[in-house]
Amino acid sequence: MFHLPLLTQLDVRITPMSLISETVRKGSSNSGHQVGVGYHVSILNTSDSTVRIMGKKWIVKDAKGRTLIYESDQVFSTKPLLYPGQIFAFDGVQDLLLPAKLQLVFLVRDEQGLLYHTDPVSLFFNHR
């Protein structure tokens, strides 16, 4: 298995926003209520080098004990370039069966073309 080195010069933060809405999911009779939960993500480049965010990976653990993995080779249809001291930020909403835990990791390329991953950041959403 191939493991990428950790890039510690990116300060990644995820903070919760308010619960957006409650939606009953159609399908199986034992499907529960999912709640749209909002979050804010910010990434600060604290290094002396320029880096490009190449993609992201969400790991979601929900109330049913399922682990769902969402990977993307972009961040909102782009691969942001972060100069030293620059911040990239975005907001999002995810439908979750609460309680749930979100974990986020970014794939990053440095100026020499080497790939790294960021330290995982987590956010826990409990019942209202």
- Each residue's pLDDT expressed in tens, for the chain with a length of 128 residues: 346 666 777 888 888 886 554 444 443 334 467 888 889 999 999 999 999 999 999 999 999 999 999 999 998 889 999 999 999 999 988 888 989 999 999 999 999 999 999 989 999 988 65
Query: Would you say residue 5 lies in a domain?
Result: no
- At 76, which CATH number? 2.60.40.1470
Query: Would you say residue 87 lies in a domain?
Result: yes
Query: Would you say residue 107 lies in a domain?
Result: yes
Query: Would you say residue 112 lies in a domain?
Result: yes
Query: Would you say residue 1 lies in a domain?
Result: no
Task: Find tokens 């995810």 and name the residue.
Answer: 94
pLDDT recorded at residue 107: 94
Instruction: Tell me if 126 sits within 8 A of 101, measured CB to CB.
Output: no
For 24, the domain range is 10-125
Question: What is the number of domains present in the chain?
Answer: 1
Please state the φ and ψ torsions of residue 5, each to the nearest 5 degrees.
-70, 155
Query: Would you say residue 3 lies in a domain?
Result: no
Beta bridge partners of 103: 59, 122
Q: Give the Å distances, CA to CA, from 59 to 45, 69, 101.
A: 23, 5, 8
pLDDT recorded at residue 6: 66
Residues 6+ positions from 45 with CB-CB distance below 8 Å: 9, 10, 51, 82, 83, 84, 85, 86, 87
Distance CA 82, CA 51 (A): 5
Query: Would you say residue 2 lies in a domain?
Result: no
pLDDT recorded at residue 28: 36
Query: Would you say residue 78 lies in a domain?
Result: yes
